[in-house]
């Protein structure tokens, strides 16, 4: 089993995961904006989607951590 990473240690992202996220982001942005959107519109829509996703996963991580902390006492 590989050694555990410390909480702040940076890991190398999986190229497969990055490719899957990129594909999903492109599809969603295209669905929201359509084929005539500008680069700036696509960039801003992508940034909003990623910010929303990061906020959601952060909240899920926080809830998991709180549950683990309360359960471990």
pLDDT in tens, 20-48: 999 999 999 999 999 999 999 999 999 99
Nearest residue to 37 via CA among 26, 49, 48: 26
Classify residue 58: in a domain, yes or no: yes
Judge if pTM exceeds 0.75: no
Residue 25 lies inside a defined structural domain of this protein: no
Take residue 12 and report the two structure tokens written for it.
């190398």
Residue 33: what pLDDT? 98
CA angle centred on 9, ends 1 and 63, rounded to 5°:
85
In a domain, 8, yes or no: no
In this prediction, residues 53-69 reach a mean pLDDT of 95
Domain containing residue 57: 37-73
């Amino acid at each position: 089993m590989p050694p555990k990473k410390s909480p702040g240690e940076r890991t190398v992202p999986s190229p497969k995961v990055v490719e899957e996220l990129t594909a999903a982001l492109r599809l969603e942005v295209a669905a929201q904006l359509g084929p005539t959107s500008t680069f700036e519109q696509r960039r801003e829509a992508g940034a909003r989607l990623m910010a929303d996703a990061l906020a959601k996963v952060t909240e899920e991580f926080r809830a998991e951590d709180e549950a683990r902390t309360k359960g471990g006492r």
